[in-house]
Structure 1
Amino acid sequence: MSWKTAFRSFYYETAEEPEDIVLPPAETALLVIDIQNTYLEPKDTPEENTRWQPFFDRMREVVIPNTRRLQDWARENGIEVIHARIACLKQDGRDRSLSQKKPGFNYLLLPKDREDSQIVDEVAPRADEIVVTKTTDSALTGTNLRMILHNMGVRHVIVAGIFTDQCISSSVRSLADESFSVVVVEDCCAAATDELHRHELAVINMIYCHVVSSAEVRQFLPS
């Protein structure tokens, strides 16, 4: 199925197919969000490991290798590669947003220099690639990424990373609100479950972004 008809929610079931996407390299950035060591660490119990195993498998077999290939493609074609990660500046995490201080899955205490807060080696920054540190879901809120993109003349943002239903969705919505054209690469993203992943893609598709595959996005360079 083509990106023009996939992941359609109720709102867009009968909408016309969108126009072709064109991504001029000088006006485009690839933003990779939160692919960090902490999310690949074993859980505390065998039961939790079993529950999370499909996510671990998708990350290792699909998301990380596809994202690495997407980064290489972007670098080869002059598309800026930018990284965002969750990390706090204070050891005690006082600078975190409320969502990261609440008990539960979203509770994160990741001091910026600790190993578990670092970006996974396979998709780590190269040379002078920009890394923004965030204590919020959105990569724009509370960082200077908005200004960085504007200063570099970026109008189109390709998004990859985790979690589809949390930081990806929040970042995509923020980017769309700032009038960036956004493309989300489905097979470079993951949520805790495939159901959550696919549901959120349908929610954000066609209004905040266009959801495409890593094979399709390579076709969007100007001829």
Structure 2
Amino acid sequence: MAWKTAFRSLYYQGAPEPEDPVLERGKTALLVIDVQNTYLERPDRAALPPEEQARFDAWTPFHDRMHGTVIPTIAKLIAAFRAGGHEVIFARIACQTLDGRDRSLSQKKPGWNNLLLPKDEASSQIVPALAPQGDEIVVTKTTDSALTGTNLRLILTNLGITHVVCAGIFTDQCVASTVRSLADESFDVIVVEDGCAAGSYELHLKELEIINMIYCAVMSSDELLAYLPR
């Protein structure tokens, strides 16, 4: 399949093709990372000053990809995992306190990652189109990695999970950080390319190239679903 030769960095040019993953029921989980209301909210462009309008426009391709590709893809994955009896797990960024005093240092620094998302506010919730159902597990973090900032490793181990399929945002931040942590803990990781997005498509592609073959296998949703037991 195409994924076996795609997204290869200089390190892996000429390397043998990876083997097909063996995804077993009871050992495979879908992890949806940080697809939260806060990242889909947009102001009225007409009400913004010119500098803010330029920033608004710079983010339009991300929003187009999220609504046109990423959210529909993740919804498709969730439906397939639920139908097949596989675990669906969510991670989200949210602090326990209203003033965010429990946040990690990276979320207190000025700039893009300066996030104040109290756990009960609407902005910190998973988007409605992908809302958890029943007793599906949601872990809450104030870190990039969904593994190091939560008890997710213990949860996955207790569930008997060996293979984790990752989707969500942002490819070059929380997704990549989570993938690296999972790989370091010897989980077998697959990243679904059309189920992820970064601030720009260029950053998305570059990060996939960086993490592919060493920390994970990168494949499309259709390629992944071809391996998933139904």
TM-score under structure 1 length normalisation: 0.98
Instruction: Report the equivalent of 1:168.
Output: 175
Preserved contact between residue 28 and residue 164 of structure 2 (Cα < 8 Å): yes
Equivalenced residue count is 223
Residue 78 (structure 2) aligned to one of 58, 71, 74: 71
Q: Map of 1:9-88 to 2, 5 A cutoff?
A: 9-42=9-42, 45-88=52-95
Distance in 2 between residues matched to 1:221 and 1:193, nearest whole Å: 30
Instruction: Report the equivalent of 1:140.
Output: 147
Distance in 2 between residues matched to 1:164 and 1:142, nearest whole Å: 18
Query: Deviation per CA, 1:118-158, whole angstroms, max 9, x where unpaired?
Result: 11000110010000000000001121100000001000000
Distance in 1 between residues matched to 2:107 and 2:13, nearest whole Å: 35
Distance in 1 between residues matched to 2:76 and 2:101, nearest whole Å: 36
CA drift at 1:196: 0.1
Instruction: Report the equivalent of 2:220.
Output: 213
Instruction: Report the equivalent of 1:8.
Output: 8
RMSD: 1.2
Q: Does 1:201 align with 2:208?
A: yes
Distance in 2 between residues matched to 1:222 and 1:4, nearest whole Å: 20
Preserved contact between residue 22 and residue 222 of structure 1 (Cα < 8 Å): no
Query: Deviation per CA, 1:181-213, whole angstroms, max 9, x where unpaired?
Result: 000000000000000000000000000000000
TM-score under structure 2 length normalisation: 0.95
CA drift at 1:78: 1.2
Other structure's SS at 2:4 match: coil
Structure 1 runs (4+) deviating above 3 angstroms are: none
Distance in 1 between residues matched to 2:120 and 2:74, nearest whole Å: 24
Other structure's SS at 1:186 match: strand
The one-letter amino acid paired with 1:49 is F
Distance in 1 between residues matched to 2:13 and 2:155, nearest whole Å: 36
Distance in 1 between residues matched to 2:191 and 2:12, nearest whole Å: 17
Preserved contact between residue 176 and residue 211 of structure 2 (Cα < 8 Å): yes
Other structure's SS at 1:26 match: coil
Distance in 2 between residues matched to 1:33 and 1:157, nearest whole Å: 12
Instruction: Report the equivalent of 1:178.
Output: 185
The one-letter amino acid paired with 1:134 is K
Query: Which shifted more, 69-78 or 213-222?
Result: 213-222
Unaligned stretches of 5+ in structure 1?
none
Distance in 2 between residues matched to 1:175 and 1:109, nearest whole Å: 26
Distance in 1 between residues matched to 2:131 and 2:214, nearest whole Å: 30
Preserved contact between residue 146 and residue 174 of structure 2 (Cα < 8 Å): yes
CA drift at 1:222: 5.3
Unaligned stretches of 5+ in structure 2?
none
Percentage of matched positions with identical amino acids: 65
CA drift at 1:14: 1.1
Other structure's SS at 2:89 match: strand
The one-letter amino acid paired with 2:33 is I
The one-letter amino acid paired with 1:50 is D
Instruction: Report the equivalent of 1:157.
Output: 164
CA drift at 1:221: 2.9
Distance in 2 between residues matched to 1:18 and 1:222, nearest whole Å: 20
